[in-house]
Amino acid sequence: MARTVGSVGENTRKRILDEALPLFARYGYAGTSTRTLASAAEVNVATLAYHFEGKEGLYNAVVQRMHEDLAKRIPADMPALAPRELSAWLAEKAWLFAREHQVHIRLLIRNVLDSGRHADVVMDRWTGPLMDRAEEIVVLFRPEWDRVRRRLFVLSLMHVVVRFAIEDPEQFRAMAGGPEDLDDAVRSWITEMIQVLLGVS
């Protein structure tokens, strides 16, 4: 469990988190040593342990920070828009979040590839509430769908969005047929995909 510290300690904690993210994303949990993490953040191993109680605590804090940001981005109430406009708004929000959190997404994917499963902190604390909230949004469009269908829709959309977000832009542009504005083309496609699957006309 992370400790509560003053402003100087908070700055140190933030620097450790910022430096740990790309290292975990690139080398995985097992491939990133405590010494490497401490060196990148310009602290000693004891300082890292003080703030995060070791590598596992730091890894969990890095993952948690992204999910906290995601939870803040999902509004308690949806804007009062017609279904077509609301679906476009949701597509825009999903794409922007994924683009802004590419390194976090690589970290999560790397963890699944390395260990065959999501980190326990993700499943225990974040997946349930976030999936519940996503289901509530889907119900606005398709109230007749059961829980399994709603969740499969959310997971399908999530996997498409995050997969697109982590592509190298130039390679992605080439694979997508060379659109002049790749970002606009992807947003339009995600919007259309949501509308088709949800039956929004």
Task: Give the separation between CA 16 and CA 62, rounded to whole angstroms.
Answer: 9
- Structure letter (DSSP) for residue 61: H
Q: What is the pLDDT of residues 75-101, one digit of tens each?
A: 777 888 999 999 999 999 999 989 988
Residue type, 98: A
List the domain boundaries for the chain: 1-63, 74-201
pLDDT in tens, 9-54: 788 999 999 999 999 989 988 899 999 999 999 999 999 899 999 8
Model's pTM, two decimal places?
0.81
At the topology level, CATH places domain 1-63 in Arc Repressor Mutant, subunit A (1.10.10)
- Can you read off the two tokens belonging to residue 137? 């949004």
Closest CA to 197 of 60, 90, 67: 90
Half-sphere exposure of 174 (CA within 13 A, CB side): 4
| Cβ(26)–Cβ(40) below 8 Å | no
